[in-house]
Amino acid sequence: MGDIAFGFQAAPASDSHKSDQALYREVMDDCALGQKLGFDAAWLLEHHFSDYYPTPSPLLFMAHIAAAFPDLSLGTSVLVLPWYHPLRLAEEIAMLNSMTRGTLHLGIGRGTARMEYDAYNVDMNEARARFAECYRIVEKGLAGKPFTHDGRFWKIAQPIRIRPEPVAKKVRFYGAIGSPASAEVMGDLGVAPICLSTFPDKLLARILERWRARAGAAAREAILPISVKMFIADTDEEARALGRRYYPPYFELQCAHYESDANPWADIPEYQDFSRMFANLRKLTDPGELGPFIDSNLVGSPDTIRRRIDALAALGFNYFMVSCATPGTPIELRQRMMTRFAEEVCPRYSRAMRRTEAA
């Protein structure tokens, strides 16, 4: 098994007793700890207009984090490209990359919440096409040369060049995968996949297989991240009890944000996979229904978590984006879990974290 890198989700874990500003300060506290423990990167989410991880501008927050912790790499999971003007996005990425020392790991996707699409007045039926075209323009812009573009949604008639001039530091892009078909789209774009551990292992294997078939030579040296939820404790039952306590409110927020009970994707052909995936979301608000979800993530004793990492690494994943910023979870608890995970699990897999432990 090759070297594995570990990042952590830096997310404002909603709490009705705390202001958004207080939640953002807790994210900064997590980043301070994550850098000290040797995690590779802090990964931010993008969501709008609800209590579900309210981080509407990941790039803005990343600039703030980078100023405080310049050696910490930064990631997004994910930037929703159909909501952006691609030229403005390319400029902001180039500017952030020139102002930071760490690597930018930019997960990109097309988004799932109908409410967010409606608020931005973007047609979800155009999501996949807008995503691909936006990425192609960003890719041209970050190449640093004058370019034009004649597309379905954006036209750039006169040659322009992005400023600031892109620096040599590589920006790594990853595409959010919701189905094997999405894996082929990302493979055609030359973008590595970013997956969720909640998918069945057989589906994850099929996604990576179909992505590799389309990505060609780019697949050989790719960073392949997977997003995993984590509760670590002395025993499996203690960790699972934490999951049964804190995951139901998390899924309540998901149900509300995505309006899953109303199935808003029923009439959108490109979102039929999501319509099926979210059909049973409501049942996960019941602690008694959480067994398969808990089993697929990193919930348990250190030994149990290591076995799950081994299984996911065997599928081909070599970067774990770990989240214990579950809404309602006290910061003291999640920071104890971050520390324990970094000290008792990560050094087995990560040379960088072994060096941190030795220091």
pLDDT per position as a tens digit, 251-260: 999 999 999 9
Does residue 159 surpass a pLDDT of 60? yes
Does residue 8 surpass a pLDDT of 90? yes
CA distances to 3, 96, 124, 333, 350 from 39, rounded to whole Å, are 14, 20, 36, 18, 10
AA letter at 230: M
The dihedral of CA 195, 326, 109, 271: what is its sign? positive
CA dihedral of residues 253, 258, 263, 268 (deg, nearest 10): -170
Q: Answer yes or no: is 287 within a domain.
A: no
Going by pLDDT thresholds of 50, 70 and 90, the confidence category of residue 14 is confident
Per-residue confidence (pLDDT) for residue 16, from 0 to 100: 76
**pLDDT digit string, tens, across residues 196-246:** 999 999 999 999 999 999 998 888 889 999 999 999 999 999 999 999 999
**pLDDT digit string, tens, across residues 31-78:** 999 999 999 999 999 999 999 999 999 999 999 999 999 999 999 999
Q: Answer yes or no: is 43 within a domain.
A: yes
Q: Answer yes or no: is 270 within a domain.
A: no
Q: Answer yes or no: is 261 within a domain.
A: no
**pLDDT digit string, tens, across residues 100-126:** 999 999 999 999 999 999 999 999 999
Closest CA to 270 of 111, 84, 121: 111
Q: Which pTM value belongs to this model? A: 0.95
Mean local confidence (pLDDT), 330-355? 95
Task: Please return the burial class of 285, using the count of CB atoms within 10 Å of its CB with bins 0-12, 13-18 and 19+.
Answer: middle
Per-residue confidence (pLDDT) for residue 1, from 0 to 100: 55
Instruction: Report angle CA 146, 149, 151 to the nearest 5 degrees.
Output: 165
Does residue 178 surpass a pLDDT of 80? no
Counted domains in the chain: 1
- Domain coverage including residue 111: 5-233+302-358
Give the separation between CA 226 and CA 6, rounded to whole angstroms.
10
Q: What is the mean pLDDT of the chain?
A: 95
Type and span of the H or E element at 44: strand 41-44
Q: Answer yes or no: is 248 within a domain.
A: no
CATH code at 188? 3.20.20.30
Q: Answer yes or no: is 307 within a domain.
A: yes
Paired tokens of 114:
């109908």
Three-state DSSP state, 155: strand
Q: Answer yes or no: is 274 within a domain.
A: no
Give the separation between CA 76 and CA 42, rounded to whole angstroms.
8
Q: Rg of the chain over CA atoms, in angstroms?
A: 20
Give the separation between CA 289 and CA 292, rounded to whole angstroms.
8
Q: Answer yes or no: is 164 within a domain.
A: yes
Strands 104-109, 5-9: pairing kind:
unpaired
AA letter at 62: M
